[in-house]
């Protein structure tokens, strides 16, 4: 098993810092080692005291880890003072593994986690060693010397921070108003990662992202896939967050998903669809059912039937076993819907007929629509059409009606939280 290293402060409440980092490493599947830079007395409501570890002891911890373990990736969190920054930078000199620097300055509960001399030392001594630096809005403002309020500001700040020496900059969008966008700047170009904005901050979320990135880098992933996988883990952590204390909630840094449960749900849903759906509801391309993992980020995270549900003689039959990545069409529909409501993780397609639209509305289903003729060139119909239908309605509907186009079959796509809910809607629809 490969080894990752976290250099950060200890959170006595167990939600952030070293504790969140080690849980993140374990969830990624790497062995976690640690160097503690400060001991904090904190909980989900406040940081009551900070006791910085003497720099000599920080150096001793680092030397003990590096002389015995083959570290493949590391992350720094709360370093607190210039003396600790210098101690860390000196001990890491000459090491080759990728380093993710999280410039921790303020806790979720609002307390300062730095001394006045910290930022200057971080810029001078550690950022030039970093493969990636991961500031939030306030930290990006401090490091770049410019206010960050919008995505455009984040772009300018990322370019300014990159000039300080790190190979890449990821400005986290959690504290920027509007749509949630994490902005990655590397090799002179930007990549925007959009996601669902959860309604509340969770203690430890700022630690879990860079720790997960470092864990994936230690596991052998390149930077971009490491960032993408780590963002997925953070989304999953938000979905499965909990409230152990009386203050803010805590991100579930060690959350895990059950892929077998998703596979089994698609298998059972496909069998139910073959038993339930009348032959005249089957489109020419057949029917497929998809179900995504929580916090899915790519078609490979969506399970669907490798074949289709098709007509075989006088009845329907599901052909092919369920598999992840089996259908990009249904996956794009689900992934687009999840950006607006992460609970909507399943979809099925049926034949569209004009008389069905009135039936849908009589049943009480919310129906979204889109027109293929308005689609911009170079975009995915499933992704663009789903997004258009949702934006027009203002929420994720029960059904998206696609009127089709020349050479494109008209269909309805029924959405739900899982295959069981989708099939309940299908039964109501086909039975009128």
Residue 115: how many CB atoms within 10 A of its CB?
A: 17
Q: DSSP states of 61-124 as a string?
A: HHHHHHTTS-EEEEEE----SHHHHHHHHHHHTT--S-EEE----B-TTS-B---TTHHHHIII
Task: Round to whole Å and give the CA distance between 255 and 294.
Answer: 10
C-alpha to C-alpha distance for 205 and 44, rounded to whole angstroms: 13
Q: Which range among 22-36, 301-315, 352-366, 380-394 has the greatest average pLDDT?
A: 22-36
**Please, is 241 exposed, middle or buried when counting C-beta atoms within 10 Å of its C-beta (0-12, 13-18, 19+)?**
buried
367-370 and 309-312 strand pairing: unpaired
Predicted confidence (pLDDT) at residue 106 exceeds the cutoff of 80:
no
Lowest mean pLDDT among 150-154, 295-299, 380-384: 380-384
- C-alpha 36/C-alpha 79 separation (Å) is 9
Distances from the Cα of 195 to the Cαs of 23, 231, 351, 413, in angstroms?
A: 23, 9, 31, 22
Contact indicator for 414, 350 with CB cutoff of 8 Å: yes
Res. 407 pLDDT band, cuts 50 70 90: low
In DSSP terms, 194 is beta-bridged to: 181
Which has more pLDDT, 21 or 377?
Answer: 21
pTM over 0.85: no
For residue 126, give the DSSP letter.
I
Q: Rounded distance, CA 38 to CA 81, Å?
A: 10
Exposure letters 210-237 (e unless 16+ CB within 10 A, then b) = bbbbbbbbbbebebeebbbbbbbbbbbb
Quick one: pLDDT band at residue 28, thresholds 50, 70, 90? very high
pLDDT at 110 over 60: no
**Whole-angstrom distance, CA of residue 415 vs CA of residue 405:** 22
Cβ proximity of 347 and 338 under 8 Å = no
Kindly state the average pLDDT of the residues 216-233. 95
pLDDT for residue 111 is more than 90: no
Q: With a cut of 90, say whether residue 196 has pLDDT above it.
A: no
The average pLDDT across 133-156 equals 92
What gap in Å lies between CA 171 and CA 181, rounded to an integer? 9
pLDDT, one tens digit per residue, over 53-65 is: 999 999 999 999 9
pLDDT-wise least confident of 84-88, 259-263, 361-365: 361-365
Contacts of 3 (CB under 8 A, 6+ apart): 30, 31, 32, 33, 69, 70, 71, 72, 218
**Mean pLDDT (whole number) for 72-97:** 95
Q: How much of the chain, in percent, has pLDDT values that exceed 90?
A: 65
In the predicted structure, residue 85 carries a pLDDT above the cut 70: yes
Q: Quickly state the pLDDT bin for 109 (edges 50, 70, 90).
A: very low
Q: What is the pLDDT of residue 170?
A: 98
In order of 147, 225, 292, the CA distances from 175 in angstroms are 13, 23, 27
Host H or E run for residue 22: helix 17-28
Does the structure show a pLDDT above 90 at 70? Answer: yes
Mean pLDDT (the chain) is: 90
Note the Cα 38 to chain centre separation in Å. Answer: 29
Only one residue has tokens 């108003």, namely 177
What residues have CB less than 8 Å from 293, skipping those under 6 apart?
257, 259, 262, 301, 302, 303, 345
**146-190, pLDDT tens digit by residue?**
999 989 999 999 999 999 999 999 999 877 777 889 999 999 999
Amino acid 406: pLDDT: 67
Give the bridge partners for 4, in sequence order: 32, 73
């Amino acid at each position: 098993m490969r080894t990752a290293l976290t250099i950060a402060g200890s959170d006595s409440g167990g939600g952030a810092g070293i504790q969140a980092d080690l849980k993140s490493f374990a969830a990624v599947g790497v062995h976690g080692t640690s160097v503690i830079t400060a001991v904090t007395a904190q909980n989900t409501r406040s940081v009551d005291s900070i006791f910085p570890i003497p720099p000599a002891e920080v150096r001793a911890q680092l030397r003990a880890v590096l002389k015995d373990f083959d570290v493949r990736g590391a992350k720094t969190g709360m370093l607190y003072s210039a003396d600790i920054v210098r101690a860390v930078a000196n001990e890491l000199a000459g090491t080759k593994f990728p380093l993710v620097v999280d410039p921790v300055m303020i806790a979720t509960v609002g307390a300062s986690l730095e001394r006045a001399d910290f930022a200057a030392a971080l810029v001078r001594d550690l950022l030039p060693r970093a493969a990636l630096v991961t500031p939030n809005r306030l930290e990006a403002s401090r490091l770049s010397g410019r206010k960050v309020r919008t995505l455009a500001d984040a772009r300018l700040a990322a370019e300014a921070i990159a000039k300080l020496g790190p190979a890449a900059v990821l400005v986290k969008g959690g504290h920027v108003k509007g749509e949630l966008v994490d902005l990655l700047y590397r090799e002179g170009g930007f990549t925007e990662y959009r996601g669902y904005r959860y309604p509340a901050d969770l203690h430890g979320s700022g630690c879990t992202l860079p720790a997960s990135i470092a864990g994936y880098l230690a596991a052998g992933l390149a930077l971009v896939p490491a960032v993408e996988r780590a963002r997925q883990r953070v989304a999953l952590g938000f979905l499965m967050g909990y409230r152990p204390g009386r203050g803010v909630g805590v991100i579930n840094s060690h959350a895990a998903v059950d892929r077998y449960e998703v596979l089994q749900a698609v298998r059972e849903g496909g069998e139910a669809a073959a038993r339930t759906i009348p032959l005249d509801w089957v489109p020419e391309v057949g029917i497929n059912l998809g179900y995504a993992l929580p916090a899915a980020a790519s078609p490979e995270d969506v399970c669907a039937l490798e074949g289709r549900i098709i007509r075989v003689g006088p009845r329907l039959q599901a052909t092919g076993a369920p598999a992840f990545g089996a259908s990009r069409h249904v996956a794009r529909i689900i992934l687009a819907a999840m950006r607006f409501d992460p609970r909507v993780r399943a979809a099925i397609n049926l034949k569209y007929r004009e008389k069905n639209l009135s039936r849908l509305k009589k049943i009480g289903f919310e129906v979204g629509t889109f027109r293929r003729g308005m689609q911009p060139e170079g975009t995915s119909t499933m992704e663009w059409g789903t997004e258009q239908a949702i934006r027009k309605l203002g929420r994720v509907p029960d059904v998206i009606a696609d009127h089709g186009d020349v050479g494109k079959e008209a269909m309805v796509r029924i959405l739900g939280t899982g295959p069981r809910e989708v099939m309940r809607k299908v039964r109501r629809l086909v039975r009128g």
